A and B are shown apart, each in its own frame.
Chain A
């Protein structure tokens, strides 16, 4: 009885589908060693970067795309794609005045507070447009605290020693097909270094935007939290509406030293394709954090509402004793969207703990898979994991799948896993209706309640945005 209301709720329009007309510096489509060299040259990179990219490219040539995920999509032609596209600017912008006003307008439309007096004052933003970072705000204030927050290409120039020391130590280019591709051709991203005993004075944020047609976006984020430091980092993404699929293959590496804490939040809203499944972003992302130090903590929170295909497993390697890993996720698939997402918790140190809380919502023809690994190695005494996966089905044509892997090689481990899959209870709906809610509001409220525990993990501004986004993405599909 609720089907038509779910439908109404799910089918709201994608708000960020506009294209910005802007002069850009774009390579010819195709991938070869020359392209890898050209990207490195364009970025004026030191030799170690070029060598690393070339090794990654050579390794990538030996790999084939992964096929184990519960996803179906046409084969991607890697030679038809453009690997570098950047808005034309004379040199790296020193202040916002030098940034193309059209770009600023784009970000204003998207609600990104590039200007320091923007509406979310207190959040430092690094904005990545197509392949390059266009602006980073609040530099001065962060500099006072000793925090390095810059675009990746800038960090390669200003702090090559840090980049060389940490790049690829969590996600090696050998890790998987998309990580190798990213390592070879990534053009920009964000770099964060929080020095010893510094609590980052504000939330850091990166905003990713794909604009140009037929381009792949390959960015790389590297965050290092030194001993006893803390940082909270937010990431948002949008793209224009196009009929073709575009590839986004990012890599995120987090490193937490002794007693450090990194909180990484994502609101992923890439263009999901239209109601018939045309277009949309293919989102193949490798995200991994390493709790290197004692008592370190890494927490991932993600709201995944966009992309035609999502392939993403933010993971934590719990190497330091008493380290903590957390994963909180809401993944929504509507229309013909497909998501295969989850996490990996690798327990290596002693007394390590991890928590996984995953909520999947499927509507329309969406296919939503939770895939998670909890691995306890023989030396990881007293490891503790609790996993909870809940799936909500809104309609008869969608699918929800749960594929957990639990591998335990230490008898002192305590592992719990639970999962449920169901539709919205008729009793819950009846209760709300009998209290005078409209059906649409009732379903929105129930879905919102379903996701509440994840939203609570988000920084406040993002929680508001995430809640709105979920309503928009679900509009017209309640059932």
Chain B
């Protein structure tokens, strides 16, 4: 399959120019020996420049029955399972960068959670970039939660301060079988000179539950495509996203699709962004309700705060509906801080910075408060406030 380089004439690439990226060349990433990496909590898998590093990882909390291997290892020992679950439901050629990931994938995690296995500790995948400049890494994660199992997964992209200009092109596939649950968090805190592209494909069976939470604060250009396929009845998907742009010239592009292909499913998207500098945020959310998907309930929201006169927000909240017994809504707002609220805080003696910080916290707090696990909420808050680069 020959892929064309997407241009801004294509609907999905209307607001993201690949002009600069197409001029660059990237070297393949090479494994780097690293002695120490502080893991935050839970079960930890550490990937350095795209390659799994067993020494830095901590798997002692992982139940024995779970299959957790680096993809390169799993391809040797569990090829049958990978064939069974790897991107069966998605026409990957529709996504040029996912196809490119397939063509040049480096490593990643293969995780198979067997039936009724509930893992309490979060599984934390860290993709750490260091020591090499202008490289490209293509991690691929295949996660399968079998019937009635439950996991929490954090996919975390970070970088050392001295590494520049690299390109991460990641693909993650989540499969939930009957009544399984995946709580998925993705934190994109790449170096501010990096380019980060990611695809997350979710395929949900009957009665399964997936919630996704995307935090974007790093990279000069970041684009995430989240494609959720609700392929059997009564599946539930809850998608949330927070974007914080503090560096001039940053751009974050979210493409989210909820594809209702079975009756009685529900989906919910809530994306919020704060643009503090001359930066650009794109949100393209689409709810597709196929003719068979009656009794669909879908709700979509996007809200952006523009705090810089040079910020730019482009949103496209789309509904495409072919069934009649449905309830679908969407809402979008774009604006700056409410002047009345700001004035109220200032008149109570708060200084300008504190007042706007407080209002920003209030703006994002409802998305954060939807995270049910208090420890996870704390952790996210800490990561959002923490400035790494």
Q: Which residue of A lies closest to B275 (CB)?
A: A411
Which residues of chain B are within 8 angstroms of A415 by Cβ–Cβ distance? 332-335
Instruction: Choose the segment among B114-122, B198-206, B309-317 that binds chain A (4+ C-beta atoms closer than 8 Å).
Output: B309-317
Instruction: Choose the segment among B323-331, B356-364, B373-381 that binds chain A (4+ C-beta atoms closer than 8 Å).
Output: B323-331
- B309 & A410 in contact (Cβ 8 Å cutoff): yes
Q: A398 vs B291: C-alpha distance in the bound complex, in angstroms?
A: 9
Asked if B321 lies at the interface with its beta carbon under 8 angstroms from chain A, I say: yes
Which residues of chain A are within 8 angstroms of B384 by Cβ–Cβ distance? none
Asked if A36 lies at the interface with its beta carbon under 8 angstroms from chain B, I say: no
Which residues of chain A are within 8 angstroms of B319 by Cβ–Cβ distance? 391, 400-402, 419, 421
- A417 & B331 in contact (Cβ 8 Å cutoff): yes
**Separation in Å of the A401 CB from the closest CB of chain B?**
5
Asked if A145 lies at the interface with its beta carbon under 8 angstroms from chain B, I say: no
Which residues of chain A are within 8 angstroms of B322 by Cβ–Cβ distance? 398-399
Which residues of chain B are within 8 angstroms of A397 by Cβ–Cβ distance? 291
Which residues of chain A are within 8 angstroms of B325 by Cβ–Cβ distance? 396, 423
The main secondary structure of chain B at its interface with chain A is: strand
Q: A406 vs B304: C-alpha distance in the bound complex, in angstroms?
A: 11
Q: Determine which of A393, A408, A418 lies in contact with B306 in the assembled complex, contact meaning CB atoms within 8 Å.
A: A408
Q: Which residue of B lies closest to A3 (CB)?
A: B324
Asked if A28 lies at the interface with its beta carbon under 8 angstroms from chain B, I say: no
Q: Which residue of A lies closest to B318 (CB)?
A: A403
Greatest chain B CB density within 10 A among A70, A398, A417 is at A417
Q: A378 vs B280: C-alpha distance in the bound complex, in angstroms?
A: 13
Which residues of chain A are within 8 angstroms of B310 by Cβ–Cβ distance? 378
* Residues A405-451 near B (CB distance < 8 A): 405-423
Which residues of chain A are within 8 angstroms of B291 by Cβ–Cβ distance? 396-397
- B336 & A412 in contact (Cβ 8 Å cutoff): yes
Which residues of chain A are within 8 angstroms of B248 by Cβ–Cβ distance? none
- A406 & B314 in contact (Cβ 8 Å cutoff): yes
- A404 & B318 in contact (Cβ 8 Å cutoff): yes
Q: Determine which of A409, A412, A423 lies in contact with B326 in the assembled complex, contact meaning CB atoms within 8 Å.
A: A423
Number of interface residues of A (CB under 8 A): 36
The main secondary structure of chain A at its interface with chain B is: strand
Asked if A479 lies at the interface with its beta carbon under 8 angstroms from chain B, I say: yes
Which residues of chain A are within 8 angstroms of B323 by Cβ–Cβ distance? 393, 396
- B315 & A406 in contact (Cβ 8 Å cutoff): yes
Asked if A293 lies at the interface with its beta carbon under 8 angstroms from chain B, I say: no
Q: Which residue of B lies closest to A394 (CB)?
A: B324
- A419 & B329 in contact (Cβ 8 Å cutoff): yes
Which residues of chain A are within 8 angstroms of B312 by Cβ–Cβ distance? 407-409
Asked if A68 lies at the interface with its beta carbon under 8 angstroms from chain B, I say: yes
- B326 & A422 in contact (Cβ 8 Å cutoff): yes
Asked if B294 lies at the interface with its beta carbon under 8 angstroms from chain A, I say: yes
Given A416-B332, A421-B321, are A393 and B316 neighbors across the interface (CB < 8 Å)?
no
Which residues of chain B are within 8 angstroms of A280 by Cβ–Cβ distance? none
- A420 & B328 in contact (Cβ 8 Å cutoff): yes
Q: Which residue of A lies closest to B338 (CB)?
A: A414
Asked if A395 lies at the interface with its beta carbon under 8 angstroms from chain B, I say: yes
**Separation in Å of the A426 CB from the closest CB of chain B?**
10
- B294 & A393 in contact (Cβ 8 Å cutoff): no
Which residues of chain B are within 8 angstroms of A412 by Cβ–Cβ distance? 309, 336
* Residues B156-171 near A (CB distance < 8 A): none
Q: A401 vs B330: C-alpha distance in the bound complex, in angstroms?
A: 12
Asked if B93 lies at the interface with its beta carbon under 8 angstroms from chain A, I say: no
Could you give 19 example pairs across A and B, Cβ below 8 Å? Answer: A378-B310, A393-B326, A394-B324, A402-B318, A403-B318, A406-B313, A406-B314, A406-B315, A408-B304, A408-B313, A408-B314, A409-B312, A411-B308, A411-B311, A411-B336, A413-B306, A414-B336, A419-B329, A422-B327
Given A411-B311, A420-B329, A423-B324, 17 new contacts (CB under 8 A)? A391-B319, A393-B324, A398-B324, A402-B318, A402-B330, A405-B315, A406-B314, A406-B332, A406-B334, A407-B312, A407-B314, A411-B308, A415-B335, A416-B333, A417-B333, A418-B330, A421-B321
